[in-house]
């Protein structure tokens, strides 16, 4: 690997650009975003931005690489030690917190997948699949031990991704449907309570 060897200004400005690009890319998609938009959001001129990143794709690629690490962190933490139901509950909670705290990252990822994941397909089939398969084995162990109900571990993970990321990716729809009164900051706590109940007990009446 090549040593970056970056100036102080380079480090700062690159961060500034990446922050601006995250904002722009996550709301307009890659092709829907222009270098001018990113440059303006970063408070600099287009040629100046291109001094730090020579191509538009380089910005997107750098953003993507950083994203993937933090994005998979919660799943990596899912561990065999501790009570299985508690482990799953806290995985759901962590994912929901990420949707709340990093909605732009979630949307950037969603945009990429929606468009067929042209730039991260190898990572999906490689690193991601390996990690999920590994965790699926852990979950299967819990099922064999009678700690949680027997079901499909892969689709379980999908459903956790889907329900939690929904609150970032479909945020405008969630807020529109909940309305001004219920769509405020409390919506994430409501979601957390609901998801816990759903994943643990399901919908069938008690008794």
Binding residues (CB under 7 A) for DNA: these are 7-10, 13, 33-36, 44-48, 50-51, 54-57
User: Based on CB atoms, which residue is closest to a second copy, 16 or 23?
Assistant: 23
166 Cβ neighbours under 8 A, 6+ residues apart:
99, 174
CA distance 185 to 182: 8
CA distance 98 to 71: 8
Q: Does 59 bind a second copy (CB under 8 A)?
A: no
Q: Does 60 bind a second copy (CB under 8 A)?
A: no
CA distance 140 to 153: 7
173 touches, from a second copy, DNA, none (C-beta below 5 to 8 Å by class): a second copy
User: Based on CB atoms, which residue is closest to a second copy, 44 or 148?
Assistant: 148
CA distance 65 to 179: 36
CA distance 47 to 123: 32
Residues, the chain, total? 207
Q: Which stretch binds a second copy (CB under 8 A): 2-10, 54-62, 64-72, 108-116?
A: 108-116
Contacting residues toward a second copy, per CB under 8 A: 27-32, 85, 88, 107, 110-111, 113-117, 121, 124-125, 128-129, 132, 146-149, 151-152, 154-156, 158-159, 161-163, 165-167, 169-170, 172-174, 176-179, 182, 190-191, 193-195, 197-206
């Amino acid at each position: 690997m090549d040593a970056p060897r970056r100036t102080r200004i380079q480090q700062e400005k690159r961060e500034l650009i990446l922050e601006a690009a995250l904002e722009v890319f996550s709301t307009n998609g890659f092709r829907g975003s222009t270098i001018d938009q990113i440059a303006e959001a970063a408070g600099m001129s287009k040629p100046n931005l291109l001094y730090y990143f020579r191509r538009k794709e380089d910005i997107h690629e750098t953003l993507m690489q950083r994203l993937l690490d933090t994005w998979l962190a919660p799943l990596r933490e899912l561990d065999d030690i501790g009570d299985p139901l508690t482990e799953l509950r806290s995985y759901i909670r962590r994912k929901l917190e990420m949707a709340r705290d990093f909605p732009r990252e979630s949307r950037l990822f969603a945009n990429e997948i929606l468009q067929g994941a042209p730039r991260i397909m190898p990572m999906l089939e490689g690193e991601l699949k390996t990690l999920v398969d590994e965790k699926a084995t852990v979950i299967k162990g819990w099922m064999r031990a009678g700690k949680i109900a027997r079901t499909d571990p892969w689709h379980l993970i999908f459903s956790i991704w889907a329900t939690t990321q929904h609150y970032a990716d479909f945020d405008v729809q969630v807020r529109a449907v909940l309305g001004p009164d219920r769509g405020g900051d409390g919506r994430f706590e409501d979601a957390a309570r609901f998801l816990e109940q759903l994943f643990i007990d399901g919908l069938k009446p008690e008794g």
